[in-house]
Structure 1
């Protein structure tokens, strides 16, 4: 079985970090300034977020890009 794509692994990581903060997907999307549907697509690997969007995610999670991408 092939390994999950980078987008899927990234989305899973975002979901893990969001859940660790206790935020709902909707609250996190609001914090980022994104639509909840876009956040859902990011977390499921359906969206390919831009570098700017990735920075927004890291800022909203209170983490660095390197920590957020660690292990992907």
Structure 2
């Protein structure tokens, strides 16, 4: 597994653990939602600035995204809007 894939899996795991959609994470961090998706798929060379913005919202240090993932990709969040 390459570094981009590790970052993507860790980002997705952290996002799902916190119950955030890609869209909510993107809005909170000031990043385009499609960019977040490409990062999670490991198809984007992510910038340090973007990593800092994402980890600030997630409340973790940047280095945590570089850890070797120990499990498979996390389950998806339920689709659809949350009820108010």
Q: Give per-residue Cα distances to partners, 1:1-48, cap 9 Å, x unaligned.
A: xxx211011101000000010001111111111111111000001111
Unaligned segments of structure 2, at least 5 residues: 70-84
Correspondent of 1:70 among 67, 70, 77 = 67
Larger Rg, first or second structure (1 or 2)? 2
* Number of corresponding residues: 69
Alignment TM-score, normalising by the size of structure 1: 0.85
- 1:40 paired with 2:33, answer no
Structure 1 counterpart of 2:50: 53
* Structure 1 position 25 matched with structure 2 position 22: yes
Ranges in structure 1 where 5+ consecutive residues have no aligned partner: none
Q: In 1, distance between residues paired with 2:11 and 2:49?
A: 15
Q: TM-score, normalised by structure 2?
A: 0.74
| CA root-mean-square deviation | 1.4
User: 2:54, 2:13 → 1: CA distance?
Assistant: 13
Alignment-derived partner of residue 79 in structure 2: none
Give structure 1 regions of 4+ aligned residues with deviation exceeding 4 angstroms. Answer: none
User: How far did 1:60 drift?
Assistant: 1.0
CA contact (8 A) 2:6 2:68 kept: no
